[in-house]
């Protein structure tokens, strides 16, 4: 009874970014409440069934994988905020609770990397999962040898070996070549995996059984993607991880000419019957934190479902998708996603069109395609790059980017932008301190020209401050 | 009745002046800035003839109402004394004492000598308005700002933009200590003996006291009605009523009207001096005299470690940012509108009003012996933003003259100099140009460091003719703790 009231109060919503869930303790065995009470609860707060998760089968190993995969990139921090806003340590207790809740509701795929959360994610994942029998979960990690100093064979192998130690396992279920195509494209790919013999090494590890599935995650230069697929007969990719969502389906290239539409990526994989693992189904929250009119459009059709659920249903509705990853920071994210996938209600054709139309509407907003993945961080000069970009996006979504001092809401919007800017980003970490060294851009999976955007925002802030708009 | 009017006016003035020092948003200056501008010493230093004349005439007619109503330090003492008097058996705790001439005139003499000699720190130490400004800006403003920050904290959580956070920082240790000691001394004196400070130390009180001897209206004791109970004398916080001789020392009386209200026999009246009203000769206070030049310090720019870019191996996290340190400047920097260092020193009363309102953390009290507490500029926390004119708007003493945005962008208060050893393109091998990008007057150009090689790392060159010394380059320079480009002040500001 008490638990029910508690749950009712905190209607899980993605917008509650700052609130860490306190209601995670809904035990798996809790008996469903009576019919009378069920009607009182919104669908968004209803009991999550523990045995309804949608599973997909991996054709090469026969793994029965939960459609929802737990991304360990955005883990919570002890500060109570979304983990990655500062230098705070990971909140291991919260991670354990979320993993417990996920496993109790059928999630069995966990995706991490040696680079995530300032390099702390693998260890936290290992601690949380090692409390379960090894056959209860699948682990995915990556060879994240981005830094030129780790391109050597020795350094790469050391990184790979270290993952076993951190994750406390003796085999890895899914190993990925991390973010191929990014940075230096084909050249960088060859330096990281071919010239040092690492790809051959990993193929050997797969034969030895220490890697059960080998694949790659892809961003950026399409040549690398096409090249790797052309070598499918030789490498026998067990899976490929791509960015797919209703905005990127047809607009990825339009948003940034360096990127490729998800329609093409998914099509190429489906053609070869390679299972797709989906990342950024929600664009780092950009598809849950929408401009108001778009939010209303989605809510109108499903008032009792979260905005985010549309994006997850979209990604999950493609039949050759094996797992849809979600980097969940708090219990509310997890619960909302579980509601969407326990079980998945695939989109109808009409609903798919509806989402594609929605994407067309969204293209009218000039938001910066930052997903807050923090691959660009840490900036050597101390800037908080994602925070600067997200503040700009937030103001854009809320109509607080005045273009002229004659605008009707100029005074209010100016104040909201400037006061909010100082709140979101400490002065010393604001765009005015960007020197344009460009260390960040090659790391951006979305291909944003970060210094250019920061300088643009800085010029805009300068005009707001000087009132010369 | 008269007492009540005095109290109401005093409270209003007191709140207004205090508000000026507390309000970091700069909103109330537009309405109440005049309450600082009518303070005596600032008006004298500003050569504000109108205000000085008004105060002189006011004192010649009504006596030292200035001390009771307009002077915030005086009202502060009244408040402390009043609190003290609310204790049991302390309502009538004063008694008549003769004038301490040597102290009053001694301090006045030292004060005038200091003023003429240009020892700004000594002048600022004795000036009552300056003392009060220091006390509020150093002791009370931080409390006010913390209160504001608490509201801002809640506002942020309520998604409101009504309050925004402001930075509370120690602007100058020396000035803080002076303010704290001044406050303690004056508070103790006021708690025990009322306005001792005003009539033994305060140079403004001494000058006005000299005038008020000849005031047209003043309280007088009607010897016929007086029963010599002594209540008035025991209520007089300036200890100036000699009831036995029915005499009041008008040089010390601040016209608080307490005695009139206290007398049970109606023996004291605020009455006109009908006999002869000889015109008092105004005490000329020469203020234009030339002063000692500013000592120039030798510039030794310490070689500094720069922030080294590190190879990025993992995602997320924030790099640690080292605090900037103040470079050694051969010539200090004073704000646009100050015209130059000498003009600034001649007029500044070190009241800290400009320091209190500077929204960019640029102004802070100097720690030099000769200029102690007088504001100066430095750019570790921010720079002198082109749209901001706050300090020039609030300065009551004419040390910082009012200036417009257009004039400001054409006023050269200093010029940037470059320090090769710290410049990031040379030390870290990355492209930068952040100084050039932010220069509001395009005085900085990025040129290849090797004239022979157009692809060599680009370094900034400063066009000193254009540079106005705003410090954007210094503040935004990525080199830490010492910037690779910093501003040297100009002795005399020039325009164009």
Task: Enumerate residues 6+ apart whose C-beta is below 8 A from B144.
Answer: B22
A422 and A346 within one domain: no
* DSSP notation for B404-417: -HHHHTTEEEEEEE
Q: How big is chain A, counted in residues? A: 469
Would residue A351 count as lying in a domain? yes
List alpha helices for A286-409, DSSP H.
292-301, 307-316, 331-341, 349-362, 385-397
**Using a CB-CB distance cutoff of 8 angstroms, which residues of chain A are in contact with residue B313?**
115, 119, 146-147, 149-150
Phi, psi of A65 (to 5 degrees): -105, 135
Would residue B388 count as lying in a domain? no
Task: Name the nearest CA neighbour of A253 among A288, A290, A221, A214.
Answer: A221
The mean pLDDT of A148-152, rounded to a whole number, is 92
Would residue A206 count as lying in a domain? yes
Task: Tell me the nearest-neighbour CA distance from B432 into chain A, angstroms.
Answer: 5
For residue B469, give both structure tokens: 């010394």
B430, B455 contact by CB (below 8 A): no
Would residue B463 count as lying in a domain? yes
A152 and A301 within one domain: yes
Q: Is A384 on the interface with B (CB under 8 A)?
A: yes
B313 and B214 within one domain: no
B193 and B80 within one domain: yes
B89 and B16 within one domain: yes
B92 and B20 within one domain: yes
Give me the domain span that covers residue B466: 301-330+412-496
The mean pLDDT of B298-312, rounded to a whole number, is 41
Residue of A nearest to B316 (CA): A377
pLDDT confidence of residue B283: 41
> E strands along A28-107, which residues?
55-57, 64-66, 68-71
Task: Tell me the nearest-neighbour CA distance from A427 into chain B, angstroms.
Answer: 9
A279 and A180 within one domain: yes
**Using a CB-CB distance cutoff of 8 angstroms, which residues of chain B are in contact with residue A116?**
314-316
The mean pLDDT of A395-410, rounded to a whole number, is 87
pLDDT confidence of residue A346: 95
Would residue B466 count as lying in a domain? yes
pLDDT confidence of residue A246: 94
A357 and A253 within one domain: yes
Peptide bond into B481 cis (omega under 30): yes
CA distance A26 to A30: 7
B307 and B225 within one domain: no
The mean pLDDT of A410-422, rounded to a whole number, is 91
Model confidence at A6, in pLDDT bands (50, 70, 90)? very low
What count of CB pairs under 8 Å joins A to B?
A: 115
Across chain A, which distance is largest between two alpha carbons, in Å?
69
| Contact: A437, B309; criterion CB under 8 Å | yes
Q: Is A444 on the interface with B (CB under 8 A)?
A: no
pTM to 2 decimal places: 0.69
The mean pLDDT of A15-20, rounded to a whole number, is 40
A416 and A335 within one domain: no
pLDDT confidence of residue A2: 42
- Which CATH number fits the domain that encloses residue B416? 3.30.70.20
For residue B391, give both structure tokens: 């300090």
Would residue B287 count as lying in a domain? no
Q: Which residues, in sequence order, are bridge partners of residue A174? A: A140, A213
Kindly report, residue by residue over B342-367, the tens digit of the pLDDT: 889 888 888 889 998 899 999 999 88
B422 and B495 within one domain: yes
- Which CATH number fits the domain that encloses residue A171? 3.20.20.100
**Using a CB-CB distance cutoff of 8 angstroms, which residues of chain A are in contact with residue B428?**
437
| Contact: B309, A150; criterion CB under 8 Å | no
Model confidence at A284, in pLDDT bands (50, 70, 90)? confident
Would residue B393 count as lying in a domain? no
The mean pLDDT of A349-361, rounded to a whole number, is 92
Would residue A190 count as lying in a domain? yes
- The DSSP call for residue A429 is G
Selecting from A86, A415, A432 the residue whose C-beta is nearest the C-beta of B438 gives A432
Query: Which of A15, A122, A419, A462 best probes binding to B when mutated, by most B CB atoms within 10 angstroms?
Result: A419
pLDDT of residue B439 exceeding 70: yes
**Using a CB-CB distance cutoff of 8 angstroms, which residues of chain A are in contact with residue B470?**
none
| Contact: B164, A432; criterion CB under 8 Å | no
Q: Is A116 on the interface with B (CB under 8 A)?
A: yes
The mean pLDDT of B405-419, rounded to a whole number, is 92
pLDDT confidence of residue A114: 95
Kindly report, residue by residue over B47-61, the tens digit of the pLDDT: 888 899 999 999 999
Cα B469 → chain centroid = 23
SS3 label, residue A170? coil
Kindly report, residue by residue over B187-232, the tens digit of the pLDDT: 999 999 899 999 999 999 999 999 999 999 989 998 888 888 889 9
Q: Is A303 on the interface with B (CB under 8 A)?
A: no
CA distance A365 to A394: 11
Strand pairing report for B375-377 and A68-71: unpaired
The mean pLDDT of B18-35, rounded to a whole number, is 88
B307 and B220 within one domain: no
B134 and B233 within one domain: yes
pLDDT of residue B274 exceeding 90: no
A332 and A280 within one domain: yes
Task: Enumerate residues 6+ apart whose C-beta is below 8 A from A72.
Answer: A110, A111, A112, A113, A116, A117, A121, A122, A124, A125, A327
Tally of domains in chain A: 2
A423 and A321 within one domain: no
pLDDT confidence of residue B133: 93
CA atoms B247, B252, B257, B259: torsion sign: negative
**Using a CB-CB distance cutoff of 8 angstroms, which residues of chain A are in contact with residue B315?**
73, 115-118, 373-375, 377, 443
Model confidence at B310, in pLDDT bands (50, 70, 90)? low
| Contact: B161, A419; criterion CB under 8 Å | yes
Q: What is the share, in percent, of chain A residues with pLDDT greater than 90?
A: 63
Would residue A378 count as lying in a domain? no
A391 and A354 within one domain: no
pLDDT confidence of residue A63: 94
Q: Is A379 on the interface with B (CB under 8 A)?
A: yes
Task: Tell me the nearest-neighbour CA distance from B164 into chain A, angstroms.
Answer: 6
The mean pLDDT of B467-495, rounded to a whole number, is 93
A137 and A231 within one domain: yes
The mean pLDDT of A307-319, rounded to a whole number, is 95
A224 and A315 within one domain: yes
Kindly report, residue by residue over B166-194, the tens digit of the pLDDT: 888 888 888 899 999 999 999 999 999 89
Selecting from B314, B321, B437 the residue whose C-beta is nearest the C-beta of A428 gives B321
Average pLDDT, chain A: 87
Would residue B462 count as lying in a domain? yes
pLDDT of residue B298 exceeding 70: no
Model confidence at A136, in pLDDT bands (50, 70, 90)? very high
Task: Name the nearest CA neighbour of B320 among A128, A426, A226, A363.
Answer: A426
pLDDT confidence of residue B305: 35
Give me the domain span that covers residue A455: 385-466
pLDDT confidence of residue B282: 41
Q: What is the share, in percent, of chain B residues with pLDDT greater than 70?
A: 92
Task: Tell me the nearest-neighbour CA distance from A413 into chain B, angstroms.
Answer: 10
B182 and B46 within one domain: yes
Structural domain ending residue among the three candidates B252, B272, B292: B272
B227 and B108 within one domain: yes
B376, B171 contact by CB (below 8 A): no
The mean pLDDT of B400-404, rounded to a whole number, is 92
Q: Is A381 on the interface with B (CB under 8 A)?
A: yes
B139 and B97 within one domain: yes
Residue of A nearest to B157 (CA): A18
ipTM: 0.74
Selecting from A86, A443, A455 the residue whose C-beta is nearest the C-beta of B318 gives A86
pLDDT confidence of residue A338: 95
Q: What Cα–Cα distance (Å) separates residue B1 from each residue in A95, A331, B261, B262?
A: 72, 68, 8, 12
Would residue A182 count as lying in a domain? yes
pLDDT of residue B309 exceeding 90: no
| Contact: A147, B156; criterion CB under 8 Å | no
A179 and A278 within one domain: yes
Would residue A316 count as lying in a domain? yes
**Using a CB-CB distance cutoff of 8 angstroms, which residues of chain B are in contact with residue A391?**
none
How deeply is B157 buried, as exposed, middle or buried, from its count of CB atoms within 10 A (0-12, 13-18, 19+)? Answer: exposed
Model confidence at A341, in pLDDT bands (50, 70, 90)? very high
Task: Tell me the nearest-neighbour CA distance from B323 into chain A, angstroms.
Answer: 10
Peptide bond into A343 cis (omega under 30): yes
Highest mean pLDDT pick, A79-83, A134-138, A181-185, B154-158: A134-138
pLDDT of residue B137 exceeding 60: yes
Tally of domains in chain B: 2
Kindly report, residue by residue over A426-459, the tens digit of the pLDDT: 999 999 999 999 889 988 888 889 999 999 999 9
pLDDT of residue B8 exceeding 90: yes
Residue of B nearest to A411 (CA): B161
| Contact: B161, A416; criterion CB under 8 Å | yes
Interface of A with B in 145-164 (CB under 8 A): 146-150
| Contact: A380, B165; criterion CB under 8 Å | no
Selecting from A147, A422, A443 the residue whose C-beta is nearest the C-beta of B164 gives A422
B254 and B125 within one domain: yes
A321 and A227 within one domain: yes
A118, A73 contact by CB (below 8 A): no
Would residue A21 count as lying in a domain? no
Block residue for tokens 């990971």: A90
Would residue A24 count as lying in a domain? no
């Amino acid at each position: 009874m008490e638990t029910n009231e508690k749950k009712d109060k905190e209607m899980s919503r993605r917008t509650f970014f700052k609130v860490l869930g306190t209601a995670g303790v809904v035990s798996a065995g809790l008996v469903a409440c009576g019919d009378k009470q069920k009607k009182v609860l919104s669908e968004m707060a209803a009991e999550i069934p523990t045995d309804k998760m949608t599973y997909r089968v991996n054709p090469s190993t026969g793994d029965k994988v939960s459609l929802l995969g737990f991304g360990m990139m955005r883990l919570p921090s002890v500060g109570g905020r979304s983990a990655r806003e500062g230098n705070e340590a990971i909140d291991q207790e919260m991670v354990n609770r979320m993993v417990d809740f996920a496993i109790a509701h059928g999630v069995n795929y966990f995706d991490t990397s040696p680079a995530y959360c300032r390099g702390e994610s693998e260890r936290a994942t290992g601690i949380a999962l090692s409390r379960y029998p090894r056959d209860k979960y699948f682990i995915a990690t990556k060879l994240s040898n981005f830094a030129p100093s780790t391109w050597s064979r020795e350094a790469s192998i050391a990184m790979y070996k270290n993952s076993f130690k951190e994750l406390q396992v003796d085999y890895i279920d899914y190993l990925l070549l991390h973010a191929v195509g990014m940075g230096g494209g084909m050249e960088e790919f060859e330096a990281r995996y071919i010239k040092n013999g690492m790809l051959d090494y990993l193929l050997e590890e797969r034969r030895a059984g220490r890697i059960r599935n080998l694949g790659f995650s892809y961003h950026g230069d399409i040549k690398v993607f096409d090249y790797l697929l052309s070598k499918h007969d030789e490498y026998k990719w067990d899976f490929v991880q791509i960015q797919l969502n209703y905005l990127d389906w047809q607009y990825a290239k339009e948003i940034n000419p360096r990127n490729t539409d998800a329609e093409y990526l998914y099509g190429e994989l489906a053609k070869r019957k390679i299972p797709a693992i989906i990342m950024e189904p929600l664009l780092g929250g950009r598809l849950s934190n929408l401009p108001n009119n778009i939010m209303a459009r989605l809510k109108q059709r499903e008032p009792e479902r979260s905005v985010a659920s549309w994006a997850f249903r979209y990604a999950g509705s493609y039949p050759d998708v094996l797992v849809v990853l979600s980097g969940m920071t708090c219990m509310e994210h997890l619960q909302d996603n579980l509601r969407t996938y326990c079980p998945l209600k695939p989109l109808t054709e009409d609903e798919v069109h509806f989402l594609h139309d929605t994407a067309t509407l969204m293209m009218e907003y000039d938001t910066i395609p930052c997903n807050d993945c923090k691959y660009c961080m840490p900036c050597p000069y101390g800037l908080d790059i994602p925070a600067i970009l997200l503040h700009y996006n937030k103001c854009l979504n809320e109509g607080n980017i005045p273009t002229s001092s004659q605008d009707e809401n100029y005074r209010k919007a100016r104040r909201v932008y400037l006061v909010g800017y100082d709140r979101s980003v400490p002065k010393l970490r604001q765009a005015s301190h960007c020197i344009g060294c460009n260390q960040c851009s090659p790391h951006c999976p979305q291909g944003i020209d970060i210094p250019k955007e920061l300088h643009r925002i800085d010029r805009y802030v300068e005009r707001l401050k000087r009132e010369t708009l | 009745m008269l007492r009540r009017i005095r109290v109401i006016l005093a409270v209003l003035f007191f709140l207004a002046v205090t508000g000026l020092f507390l309000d970091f948003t700069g909103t109330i200056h537009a309405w109440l800035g005049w309450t600082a501008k009518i303070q005596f010493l600032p008006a004298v230093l500003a050569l504000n003839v109108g205000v000085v004349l008004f105060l002189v005439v006011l004192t010649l007619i009504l006596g030292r109402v200035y001390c009771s109503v307009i002077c915030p330090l005086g009202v502060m003492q009244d408040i402390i004394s009043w609190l003290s008097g609310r204790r049991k058996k302390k309502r009538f705790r004063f008694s008549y004492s003769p004038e301490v001439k040597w102290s009053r005139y001694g301090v006045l003499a030292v004060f005038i000598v200091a003023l003429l000699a240009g020892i700004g720190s000594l002048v600022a130490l004795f000036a009552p308005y300056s003392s009060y400004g220091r006390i509020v800006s150093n002791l009370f403003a931080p409390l006010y700002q913390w209160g504001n920050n608490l509201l801002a904290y809640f506002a942020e959580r309520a998604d409101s933009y009504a309050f925004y956070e402001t930075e509370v920082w120690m602007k100058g240790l020396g000035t803080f200590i002076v303010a704290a000691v001044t406050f303690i001394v004056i508070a103790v004196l006021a708690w025990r003996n009322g306005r001792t400070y005003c009539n033994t130390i305060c140079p403004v009180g001494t000058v006005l006291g000299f005038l008020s001897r000849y005031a047209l209206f003043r309280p007088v004791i009607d010897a016929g009605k007086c029963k010599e109970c002594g209540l008035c004398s025991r209520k007089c916080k300036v200890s100036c009523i000699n009831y036995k001789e029915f005499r009041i020392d008008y040089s010390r009386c601040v016209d608080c009207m307490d005695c009139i209200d206290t007398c049970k026999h109606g023996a004291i009246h605020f009455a006109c001096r009908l006999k002869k009203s000889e015109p008092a000769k105004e005490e000329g206070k020469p203020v234009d005299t030339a002063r000692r030049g500013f000592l120039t310090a030798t510039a030794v720019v310490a070689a500094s470690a720069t922030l080294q870019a590190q190879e990025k191996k993992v995602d997320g996290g924030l790099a640690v940012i080292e605090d900037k340190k103040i470079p050694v400047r051969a010539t200090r920097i004073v704000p646009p509108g100050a015209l130059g260092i000498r003009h600034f020193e001649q007029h500044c009363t070190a009241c800290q009003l400009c320091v209190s309102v500077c929204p960019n953390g640029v102004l802070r009290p100097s720690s030099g012996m000769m200029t102690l507490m007088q504001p100066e500029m430095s750019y570790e926390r921010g720079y002198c933003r082109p749209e901001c004119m706050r300090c020039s708007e609030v300065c009551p003493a004419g040390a910082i003259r009012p200036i417009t945005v257009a004039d400001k962008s054409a006023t050269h208060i200093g010029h940037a100099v470059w320090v090769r050893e710290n410049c990031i393109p040379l030390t870290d091998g990355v492209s930068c140009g952040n100084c050039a990008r932010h220069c509001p007057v395009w005085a900085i150009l990025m040129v290849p460091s090797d004239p022979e090689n157009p692809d060599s790392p680009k370094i900034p060159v400063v066009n000193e003719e254009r540079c106005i010394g705003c410090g954007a380059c210094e503040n935004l320079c990525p080199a830490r703790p010492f910037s690779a480009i910093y501003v040297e002040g100009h002795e005399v500001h020039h325009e164009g």
